[in-house]
Chains A and B, each alone.
Chain A
Amino acid sequence: MNYLIPTLLLVLTCVSGFADQTSQSKPSRRGPATARETPAPKSSQKATNSGDEFGNEPVQKVNDPYERINHTTFRLNDSFTIHAVKPLANGYERIVPHAVRTGLSNFFDNLDFPVRFGNDVLQGRFVRSGQEVGKFVVNSTVGVGGLFRASDHVSSLVDVPAEDFGLTLGRWGFSTGPYLVVPLLGPSTIRDLTGYAGDFALNPLNWYLIFSNNRLISNAVGYSISASRFVVRSPGSVHAYEEMKEAAVDPYIAVRNAYLSHRAAQLDK
């Protein structure tokens, strides 16, 4: 069962990557723009000149062939966030002081070091992987097991972009594939969903869970870590979602555009 989802996703990515290549080789019925997502607003001259009134270009179509299903999932996720995650996040915020919450959030970030490091290596970014090692060592020791971001006080270790397998696939040349709204998980793409599975496989903590003979213990440990991580990260994601929804005239498009732009900007770093 543990292997099923990653395998399925890997197959999906290969299929979507192949489908993209073939669709690009022949003219699309809806024009060439349909195969591309909205261009990312990057901090570069090239990006700025597109997508603003100075170019006066029309909005490019987004690769969202499952828009109707995505809309339904978006609505379900919305009510799940408001009625389940938000009360949980509020409770967590009421009970646990801010300093402790920040410490726990830092702790889980530090725990994800192998994933970021592994992806740096897979992308051939050795300077960045070195910085990740430096961050991990400093935060695990001076930062008391990752509770404090001591690395923020070391100039060379500040602002190291966090890599994940979705970005690795992007750098390897895979296109994003269709936009997806995943139940409970939220906005994603075929590439990022596969990346999610890749990151799971890159984390040594999960190796124990996958290969352990004692299913009962390994499942208990796995679920505890996932549940704690989910609770610790819930206030941030609920606030971000509510702020986005409050400002939006069309929340579905606002979230889709923000997600795709943010991921494209990460890919550029």
Chain B
Amino acid sequence: MDAKQNNNRRWTQIDADKGMAGELDHSDFRSRRSRRFLGLLTSGFIALSAFAASPVDPVGQLRSEVDQVLAIAYSGQSSETVADRVRPLLEKDFAFDVVTRQAIGPGWRQFSPGEQQKVTDLFSRLVIRIYAARVVGTQRPNITYGKTVTLAPDRCEIPTRVTAANGDRPYSVVYRLINLSGSWRIYDVLIEGVSFVANYRAQFDELVQHGGAAAVIKTLEAKLAEPINPNS
């Protein structure tokens, strides 16, 4: 949102510059030309800086993030090593505060800031653990990226199609991204039409209603204490 306001401000400035160049028509030709050149240079520079500050292409960013994760996932290392190496990448790629807030639903507002922080921490650990265990493999799948769909000025979704190298049936994965301070971050993933955020939200609903934050924290801690089988 800030980036957008900045852009608007910059474009207003460019329009003002143009206006200034218009007023110079009464002065002599040389000065007019040099001033016009200066004006052009200034507006060009402003336009350039506006471009640099504008959000990056979401598909390009997602593609590079997925490539980075897959490069580690298919490096032939053990799942524990993969999980450790993938974690910092996922923490950067996912907007875990948005993901957790959505997964909890309207009850989130009743949580204290401390509880919100605790739940975000536990839930992101669970998601990273599950994700890391799932991406480990021997043959890297082929991923094709579809056209970006704009959902709101600061949100979009990118459909992808994952084709496994071993001949298994291809499946659809849709990434939903939110623009936070000029960078796109994942806030939901839909596999074959099933949103993982909506799925957790349905599961947390009763817990939140009857046990509040305490019940959610207890359940998440118990879940994280369970062993995980990466090959299941």
Which A residues lie at the B interface, using CB under 8 A? 38, 40-45, 48-49, 51-54, 56-59, 62, 98-99, 102, 105, 149, 152, 159, 239, 242-243, 246-250, 253-254, 256-258, 261-262, 264-266, 268
Distance between Cα atoms of A258 and B194 in the complex (Å):
6
Min Cβ gap A112→B in Å is 13
B229 contacts partner chain A, Cβ-Cβ < 8 Å:
yes
24 interchain pairs, CB-CB under 8 A: A38-B202, A41-B198, A43-B174, A45-B150, A48-B155, A51-B201, A52-B198, A53-B108, A54-B155, A58-B105, A59-B205, A102-B166, A102-B168, A159-B161, A243-B134, A247-B126, A253-B203, A253-B206, A257-B194, A257-B198, A258-B194, A261-B194, A261-B199, A262-B192
Across the interface, do B220 and A249 meet the contact criterion of CB distance under 8 Å? yes
Across the interface, do B193 and A48 meet the contact criterion of CB distance under 8 Å? no
Which B-chain residue is minimally distant from A244 (CB atoms)?
Answer: B199
Distance between Cα atoms of A48 and B126 in the complex (Å):
24
Q: Which of B157-213 contact A (CB under 8 A)?
A: 157, 159, 161, 166-170, 174, 176, 188, 190, 192-195, 197-207
Which A-chain residue is minimally distant from B150 (CB atoms)?
Answer: A45
Please indicate the chain B residues that have their CB under 8 angstroms from the CB of A247 in the complex.
126, 130
B151 contacts partner chain A, Cβ-Cβ < 8 Å:
yes
Across the interface, do B176 and A48 meet the contact criterion of CB distance under 8 Å? yes
Across the interface, do A258 and B199 meet the contact criterion of CB distance under 8 Å? yes
B41 contacts partner chain A, Cβ-Cβ < 8 Å:
no
Across the interface, do A59 and B201 meet the contact criterion of CB distance under 8 Å? yes
| Chain B residues with a Cβ closer than 8 Å to the other chain, count | 49
Which A-chain residue is minimally distant from B174 (CB atoms)?
Answer: A43
Pick the residue among A41, A102, A152, A254 that contacts B193 (CB under 8 A): A41
Please indicate the chain B residues that have their CB under 8 angstroms from the CB of A40 in the complex.
193
Min Cβ gap A180→B in Å is 17
Which B residues lie at the A interface, using CB under 8 A? 98, 101-102, 105-106, 108, 126, 130, 133-134, 149-152, 155, 157, 159, 161, 166-170, 174, 176, 188, 190, 192-195, 197-207, 219-220, 223, 226, 228-229, 232
Distance between Cα atoms of A133 and B105 in the complex (Å):
45
Specify which of A51, A53, A149 lies most central, judged by the most chain B CB atoms within 10 Å of its CB: A53
Min Cβ gap B205→A in Å is 4
Across the interface, do A53 and B102 meet the contact criterion of CB distance under 8 Å? yes
Distance between Cα atoms of A49 and B149 in the complex (Å):
13
Min Cβ gap A166→B in Å is 15
Across the interface, do A250 and B203 meet the contact criterion of CB distance under 8 Å? yes
Distance between Cα atoms of A247 and B196 in the complex (Å):
10
Specify which of B202, B204, B232 lies most central, judged by the most chain A CB atoms within 10 Å of its CB: B202
Distance between Cα atoms of A90 and B220 in the complex (Å):
30
Pick the residue among B167, B188, B193, B199 that contacts A264 (CB under 8 A): B193
Min Cβ gap B75→A in Å is 21
Please indicate the chain B residues that have their CB under 8 angstroms from the CB of A268 in the complex.
193
Please indicate the chain A residues that have their CB under 8 angstroms from the CB of B105 in the complex.
53, 56, 58-59
Distance between Cα atoms of A44 and B201 in the complex (Å):
20
Across the interface, do B223 and A249 meet the contact criterion of CB distance under 8 Å? yes
Across the interface, do B198 and A246 meet the contact criterion of CB distance under 8 Å? no
Distance between Cα atoms of A105 and B168 in the complex (Å):
9
Across the interface, do A254 and B157 meet the contact criterion of CB distance under 8 Å? no
Min Cβ gap A40→B in Å is 6
Distance between Cα atoms of A66 and B60 in the complex (Å):
47
Across the interface, do B193 and A53 meet the contact criterion of CB distance under 8 Å? no
Across the interface, do B192 and A54 meet the contact criterion of CB distance under 8 Å? no
Min Cβ gap B146→A in Å is 9
Pick the residue among A52, A53, A102 that contacts B167 (CB under 8 A): A102
Specify which of A43, A98, A261 lies most central, judged by the most chain B CB atoms within 10 Å of its CB: A43
Supposing A43-B159, A53-B102, A58-B105 touch, asked if A249 and B204 sit within 8 A by C-beta, the answer is yes
